Structure 1
Amino acid sequence: MKFHTLSLAIAAAFALSAPTAFAQDADASTTSMETTATSDTGAHKRISVVAGYGILKPKSDAFGDDPKRGLKGGGLPTASVAYHVTDNIAVEAWGALDKSEHKVVGSGIGGQVEAQPYGISGQYHFGQPGQAIRPYVGLGYYQANISEEKDLNGQHFGMSSPKGAMGTVGADFNINDRWFTRAEARYMDGKSDVTRAGQKVGEAQLDPWMVGVGVGARF
């Protein structure tokens, strides 16, 4: 790889320019540098984990044509684990560690629901492992658990689990070969049936966006 070649070239130049009296020490140092370069480069780290926090915001008109009838956004902690098949292609399992609370707002309605999404996707990371900023895109499938549905009067209503396609765009900001920070946005396409006493009374086209940040490590 180019990174290995450059490292070996620098080590060799250092050894050749060292004083003759320290030739043996220089050779030992060169060998150590080669071993470190081979083991530490991010190209050989195939597992990455990220802990983060995001804001999940469903459509403002999720419950109909009125743009004021919908769900307010809510925050939630997230985590992901990815296996990097190559330096550019990865498979990621992602999910919320807790539920986000969403207020139901609109004319004549009110209440709250809680959501906890999770999913799996394939990712493409642009550039090379050693560069400072690595943007990426992803496409996959998600599902969200919906719970604690209550209207303005505290009466329970039901919402089925939304599920569908999930798209991701983001970037990793490398601190060193192991640690990095992340900023990303996810779009989740999904709708939910609204029920009362087991009977469908409507439909919510949720289609939430999630914007978040995180800290990650490679192994």
Structure 2
Amino acid sequence: MRTIKIMSFAVLGALALSPAAFAQDAGADTASGKRFAVVGGVTLLQPKSGPATGIDKVDGGPAPTLSASYYFNDNVAVELWGAADKFDHRVRTSGGAKAGTVEQQPLALSAQYHFGAADNVFRPFVGAGYYQSNFSNEKIDGLAASGDHVGLRTAKGAIGTVGVDMNINSTWFARADARYMHARPELSVAGAGTGEKLKLDPWTVGFGIGARF
């Protein structure tokens, strides 16, 4: 959570400085016509509660994230987004007891539409695409009465994004975004599929700093 606070203060500082900094730089340069953008930040991922019978909650957590975008024009872009490290989750049973831990690392490709002119201080955007999230280091064997290893198959599905870019100048910007992933990974026991799927469907909230060129 300390990382989340640091990034939040950085974004708020950038937002406070952005109108003056962008106005000063606008006469010399412009964001319009720049085709590439990269963003680095931190994201909090939180799965929904009660994803399956016997599981009350899968705790969320933060991880660093990166994205790279190509702009076909000032408004339409395609973005590759993913976690630079794994999200850590604690799995809790219906009684609130800890059943184990699991890690995941999502990767997504989305089309986006950015509203307004490229040089606007605030630029909201929306996006939709496809993602996969790989689960690893599952230590939730207590969920199986047989004591066999319990694993999660790769989650695949749709991802939706809403966010806003806050221009600092023609190159640098701060970003805040939220994403929804339709995640229904299948539980496996001793390497065999069970047919039971976890309804994780996580939301993410992210903050970052980006550059366009």
| TM-score, normalising length: structure 2 | 0.80
- Note the C-alpha offset of 1:205: 1.2
The question of 1:73 aligning with 2:67 is answered no
Cα distance in 2 for residues equivalent to 1:155 and 1:196: 6
Partner of 2:198: 204
Cα distance in 2 for residues equivalent to 1:44 and 1:198: 50
Partner of 1:31: none
Q: Deviations over 1:64-95 (max 9, x none)?
A: 3x7x6131101110000000101100011111
- Note the C-alpha offset of 1:45: 1.0
Q: Deviations over 1:115-137 (max 9, x none)?
A: 10011000000000111100000
Give the SS at the match of 1:110. strand
Letter in 2 for 1:172: D
**CA RMSD of the aligned region, Å?**
1.9
| TM-score, normalising length: structure 1 | 0.78
Letter in 2 for 1:43: S
Unaligned stretches of 5+ in structure 1? 1-35
Partner of 1:175: 168
Q: Select the structure with the greater relative contact order (CA < 8 A; seq sep ≥ 6).
A: 2
- Note the C-alpha offset of 1:142: 0.4
Q: Which moved more, 1:148-157 or 1:97-106?
A: 148-157
Cα distance in 1 for residues equivalent to 2:179 and 2:149: 29
* Residue of 162, 187, 198 corresponding to 1:194: 187
Matched residue pairs, number?
181
Q: Which moved more, 1:44-53 or 1:197-206?
A: 197-206
Cα distance in 2 for residues equivalent to 1:88 and 1:94: 18
- Note the C-alpha offset of 1:111: 0.5
Letter in 2 for 1:104: V
Matched-pair identity in %: 49
Unaligned stretches of 5+ in structure 2? 1-25
